[in-house]
Homo-oligomer: A and B are copies of this chain.
Amino acid sequence: MERRNVRLVLAYDGTEFLGWERQAEGRTVQAVVEAALGELHGHPVGVVAAGRTDSGVHAAGQVISFSSDSPVPDDRFHHALNGLLPHDVRALRGGRVGDEFNARYSARARVYKYYLRAEEVECPTTRRYCWSLRKPPDLRRLISLSAAVVGTHDFTTFAASGDSSASKVRDVYSSVFYREGDALVFKIAGNAFLYRMVRSLVGTFVELETRGEGPEKLKELLARRDRDAAGPTAPARGLFLEKVLYDDETPA
């Protein structure tokens, strides 16, 4: 069978996963996807993902790539895989890409969304997918705080202790809050993100908003390059890997 490089876009509910990356024990998205691909191919298949989402984090547009010798036609690949995946992971679309494509190293930008709700009592049918705040935050102040991280910065302040990146410098292309129905959404796009950086930013924005602090304070924390300067890390359940952007020659 001819070998081809395949790209797939995945969505998953992270609640019952210990994150993307395969571990010695425990249910991970990578292990579940590789098991389904192994079943489809009749031999083990290893995949590469654009974002190694953490335990409890969801995805609306994770991207993976792998080499395949399956006879399944390109436009049916995601359907064939869905027949073998559990309901909390779905392949949305995908197909053949050039041999040089790698879901992780070819990615030009990642977009994350973080959902918050202000409500006196936590709503039981949205709690899996958002952070419930007791007091409604001031949206304009959150917008002005979030704008302060746009640009190229050393994000050491907002990296968790588990981050192993040599450089903590990242490019943030956009960072904004807006309303979506009953929810407040934080949306951030950047070339890449440090370990738990988005949740650390959200926790810090919310804390600074509560304390009445403005963007100068956020810039000061950023300049300190000190993990202890950040606010609390927002819960995993509000975070979604929304999409991954590649060069134009890559089919969307």
Q: Which residues of B contact A120 (CB under 8 A)?
A: 92-93
Report the minimal beta-carbon distance from A86 to chain B, rounded to whole angstroms. 9
* In contact, A121 and B91 (Cβ under 8 angstroms): yes
Q: What's the Cα separation between A124 and B241 when bound, in Å?
A: 13
Q: Which residues of B contact A124 (CB under 8 A)?
A: 11-13, 87-90
Q: Residue on B with the closest CB to A92?
A: B121
Q: What's the Cα separation between A121 and B88 when bound, in Å?
A: 12
Q: Which residues of B contact A60 (CB under 8 A)?
A: 123, 125
Q: Which residues of B contact A13 (CB under 8 A)?
A: 124-125, 127
A144 interface residue (CB < 8 Å to B): no
* In contact, B11 and A123 (Cβ under 8 angstroms): yes
Q: Residue on B with the closest CB to A14?
A: B125
Q: What's the Cα separation between A88 and B123 when bound, in Å?
A: 8
Give 13 new A-B contacts, CB below 8 A, not counting A12-B124, A78-B121, A125-B128: A11-B121, A11-B124, A13-B127, A60-B123, A87-B124, A88-B124, A90-B121, A90-B123, A90-B124, A92-B121, A93-B121, A128-B128, A180-B181
